[in-house]
Amino acid sequence: MKVVGIVGSVRKDSLNKALANFVAKQFEHKFEMEVLTLENIPLYNQDIENDAPQEVKSFKEKVAAADAVIWFTPEYNGTMPGVLVNAIDWLSRVNRVMVGKPSLVMGASMGALGTVKAQAHLYDVLRSPGIDSPFLAGANQVVVGAAHTKFDEQGNLTDDNTVNFLDMVTTNFVEFVEKNN
């Protein structure tokens, strides 16, 4: 199974990027996940959507070729960061590469409930016609709080409860993707 992980933070020491890299490595026996970051994706502009910049084309090709997407969203001002919304806008237009493609949402923050609101908004967007992605939620919602205390220097997640939870969720996700593809 091929998965792309889309990270909604472009900063070097992003906790969400660390979580994505950890998931890719820890669960490589379940799926092959390429982590995609968004620093080279230009602002969405309808004037150029039919001949989008190369960075956008290759981003969309990678998403199109994947069996599923795992989203790693920070929370900015109670919602998703603009870079993530911008990427979603590109994905939703011309060739709608997300339609029907299963999703799972995760988020890491320093607070306890950080990313809950951003994730709720992302679920809503996943239901929109241009994205229309079936997603695994409910008990499988991954909210990694106090994330800055949970990684070691090598980027390993050291919190056993979180690792065990991720193990359960990713197993459920593989089953969900198989049912939805």
Binding site for ligand FNR (CB under 6 A): 9, 11, 14-16, 74-78, 109-111, 114
> In the complex with ligand FNR, which residue's Cβ is closer, 16 or 162?
16
Which residues have C-beta within 8 Å of that of residue 50, sequence separation ≥ 6? 94
Output 9 or 140, the one with its CB closest to ligand FNR: 9
The answer to whether 35 and 20 have CB atoms below 8 angstroms apart is yes
CB 122 within 8 A of CB 71: yes
The least distance separating ligand FNR from the CB of residue 112, rounded to whole angstroms, comes to 9
How far apart are CB 56 and ligand FNR at their closest, in Å? 22
Q: Cβ distance 70 to 2 under 8 Å?
A: no
Q: Measured from the CB of residue 16, what is the shortest distance to ligand FNR in angstroms?
A: 3
**106 beta partners:** 72, 142
Residue 6 or 52 with smaller CB distance to ligand FNR: 6
Strand partners, 69: 4, 103
Angle at 80 between CA 16 and CA 46, to 5 degrees: 115
CA distance 181 to 177: 6
- Buried-exposed string 86-106: b where 16+ CB fall within 10 A, e elsewhere: bbbbbbbbeebbbeebbbbbb
Nearer to ligand FNR, 94 or 116 (CB): 116
In the complex, the smallest distance separating the C-beta of residue 76 from ligand FNR, rounded to whole angstroms, is 4
Q: Which residue is nearest to ligand FNR (CB)?
A: 114
Minimum CB–partner distance for residue 118 and ligand FNR (Å): 7
Toward ligand FNR, which CB reaches closer, 78 or 100?
Answer: 78
